[in-house]
Structure 1
Amino acid sequence: MRITTKLSAVTVGASLMLTMSACSPPEGQGAATTAPQASGSLNIACSQQEDFCQAITAAFSADTGIDATYVRLGSGEVLARLETTPGEFDVWSGGQAENHLIADDRGFIEPYVSPNASALAAEYNDADGVWSGFYTDSVGFCSNQAELDKLGIDAPTSWDDLLDPALKGTVSMPHPATAGVGYMAMFAVDTLNGGAEDETIDYFTQLNQNVLQYSKSAASGTELAGRGEVAVAISLDSDCVKAKEAGYSDLVTSYPEEGTGYEVGAVSVLKDARNAEGAKAYMDWILSTDAQNLYADVPSYAAPTLADAKQGSSVPDQDAVNKVEWNLQKAADSREALLARFESDVASQSSATE
């Protein structure tokens, strides 16, 4: 079951259009300068939760007049689709920036420097126009407090806490080959190990003893935890808060105190796009303050990347999270080797994949 806020495209589009029409973007941040020049339909590969994809796509269409559709796919799934069906999508919206770098290395990105990118902090922007970031959140542990109480343990506050024998068969982790969050967890541990791949694989081999399920998406794990089917899910902190707000009241978020990974959710224009101008208009739009102000109303519990954008009251404070040094290029370059080792040494020993 996917947690989905029931929003019709018509309702969302109309209401968000009213919201946006009441605001004027700061100088240099309005997307309207390019949007009217685009025409035709826009196909979006969207790597966020379903209700966010639905609402943002509808808002973009309402604001620009460009007919847009989306397919909700995890980052690994987008990379696979770009290989098998090039030209299917015009723009990739969401997913970790390192995955957009991988797509660029494979020749799938058409670099585009949006005029609105200049308002972003350096860590949210690629100077060459491969990607720009429009949201950020962190990897955390999403735990069911009632289940932890039954086991007689506290919410995990370190990666080693997940190896507690008391958690045998009660941990959910997104599969790193299909869900970007799973790979983020792997790369965070690898970074803490100083890039020692064998030590990283040894950790996940041990963790495998406690994993009930390698879920296809990170959000699936928070639902398992919310229903009490597992005690802990490795997830994005934004997804855990979202599930709690949706009614899974026993959920609590904690972080590994030694450091965790974090996501810069990126947008890129795709090569061979059927609607290249529409893709650029979408990138301009989602990097505008008006668009990022909408996150609180969707709602999205990830933080906007523009400093002047509105932030929802329940959005986790990203400044309070201890994060590992996140080398995007190294994360991209290490992905293939780490995933191959995970498949051969960890997943092959388990029947826990969703």
Structure 2
Amino acid sequence: MKFKKYVSVIILIFLVFNLTGCNRNSLKVTYENGYPDLKGKHLVVYVASREEVGKRLLELFKQKTGCTYEYMRMPTEEAVARVRQEKDSPKADIFMGGSCDAHTLMKSERLSEKYICKNDNAIQKEYKDSQGYWIGFEIEPLSIVINKDRWEKEFGTRGLKIPNSYEDLLNPVYKGEIVMPDPNTSGTAYTFLASLVQNMGEEKAKNLLRKIKVNVGQFTVNGYTPAQKVGTGEYLIGINFLGDQLLIKNSGFNIVTNVPQKAGWNIDAISKIKKGPNGDVGKFFIDFCTTKEAADALSNISLGMSTREDINSKSEIKLSNLDIYINYDFTKASNDREELLKMWNGLN
């Protein structure tokens, strides 16, 4: 009996040790100035964030740790499809950015693996998966962007107000003047679609979406492009994330941004791909992306809102000042994906 108890204790200790080891790293790295020494290690990342965001974090990670990297920038839906296709022989270690529901989808399909990062306590529970399959580093609301020069020249004398709601976009005068991403390829657009359905109910949302769709002149592959096209004046109005729009505005383009009431929003998150080719190297990158240093560096090039509250943000926006659809359910959005895309594609 005593022998059995002894064996049970040994097994328990073994399991705890291994679980803890899996949750940190099996590389037995040393640390220098607070950073892991990853010289000779490599990392492969699929980036659905803006390219400058992914590159900035990866380059800073390389400077601090010595880890080399390569990345591929692609829209959210393409990234998830690639991870799914490669699940038996993964080619990447990390999926970064894109819509949060995509990370939830990867979790449900067992394409990602659990990892509780070192900075988990610095991120509020609303901005991370409760089981540790993804963690957010930025928050962005959807917004309407308008080219101010074109508006004043072509529409300002018509007695119209600058659009600040999705209902304002239904006016036939805007036919062909609106640009937005395609929900089939863009996580930005899928957030727009799913948040409207959750907030308004399917029938009301379908009616609104059908009328907006009639006025759209172009559907882009990714979520960033609409802000660019409105900035240059190619289109009058666009729909995408506010951070993308503010980057264009701060580059000198004369645009106006309006976040509609009950707008959808997204958490830019990061997940470790299950059985990635470089093992636990990806865990160190997740640790790094959730540090204050990384958040501060990101605030210099991105105008989203950090999930950390202790950074020196240059963002012009505060989540608490916006009337967004706070009850947006990322898990439901993930579960409803196939049904909602079918509905969207059937609108005419």
SS in 2 for 1:208: helix
AA paired with 2:101? Answer: E
Instruction: Check conservation: 1:156, 1:256, Cα contact below 8 A.
Output: no
| Pairs within 5 Å for 1:1-354 | 35-36=36-37, 40-86=41-87, 87-149=90-152, 150-152=154-156, 153-194=160-201, 196=202, 198-248=203-253, 250-257=254-261, 259-297=262-300, 299-312=301-314, 314-324=315-325, 325-343=327-345, 345-346=346-347, 349=348
Select between 131-140 and 35-44 the one with higher mean Cα deviation: 35-44
Report the alpha carbon displacement of residue 34 of structure 1 after superposing the two structures with TM.
7.5
Give distance in 1, aligned partners of 2:280 and 2:177: 48
Give distance in 1, aligned partners of 2:338 and 2:47: 22
Q: Deviations over 1:128-180 (max 9, x none)?
A: 11100111111000111122221233321211111111211111111011111
For the aligned residues, what is the CA RMSD? 1.9
- Could you say which residue in structure 2 is the equivalent of 1:22? none
Report the alpha carbon displacement of residue 31 of structure 1 after superposing the two structures with TM.
11
Give distance in 2, aligned partners of 1:64 and 1:296: 21
* Aligned-residue identity in percent: 23
Report the alpha carbon displacement of residue 311 of structure 1 after superposing the two structures with TM.
0.4
The alignment's TM-score, normalised by the length of structure 1, stands at 0.84
Report the alpha carbon displacement of residue 302 of structure 1 after superposing the two structures with TM.
0.9
Give distance in 2, aligned partners of 1:206 and 1:341: 14
Instruction: Check conservation: 2:181, 2:219, Cα contact below 8 A.
Output: yes
Instruction: Check conservation: 1:136, 1:265, Cα contact below 8 A.
Output: yes
- For structure 2, which runs of at least 5 residues remain unmatched after alignment? 1-30
Report the alpha carbon displacement of residue 200 of structure 1 after superposing the two structures with TM.
2.2
SS in 2 for 1:218: coil
Select between 53-62 and 232-241 the one with higher mean Cα deviation: 53-62
Report the alpha carbon displacement of residue 202 of structure 1 after superposing the two structures with TM.
2.6
Give distance in 2, aligned partners of 1:134 and 1:67: 22
- For structure 1, which runs of at least 5 residues remain unmatched after alignment? 1-29, 350-354
Q: Deviations over 1:189-244 (max 9, x none)?
A: 112213x2x43223211111110001111211111101111111001110001011
Change (3 A) 1:37 1:51: closer
AA paired with 1:200? Answer: A
Give distance in 1, aligned partners of 2:199 and 2:39: 45
AA paired with 1:122? Answer: K
Change (3 A) 1:67 1:32: farther
Instruction: Check conservation: 2:146, 2:238, Cα contact below 8 A.
Output: yes
Instruction: Check conservation: 1:45, 1:93, Cα contact below 8 A.
Output: yes
SS in 2 for 1:266: strand
AA paired with 2:130? Answer: A
Report the alpha carbon displacement of residue 85 of structure 1 after superposing the two structures with TM.
2.7
Give distance in 2, aligned partners of 1:302 and 1:264: 10
Report the alpha carbon displacement of residue 306 of structure 1 after superposing the two structures with TM.
0.8
SS in 1 for 2:136: strand
Instruction: Check conservation: 1:108, 1:271, Cα contact below 8 A.
Output: yes
SS in 1 for 2:115: coil
Select between 168-177 and 317-326 the one with higher mean Cα deviation: 317-326
Q: Which has the larger radius of gyration?
A: 2
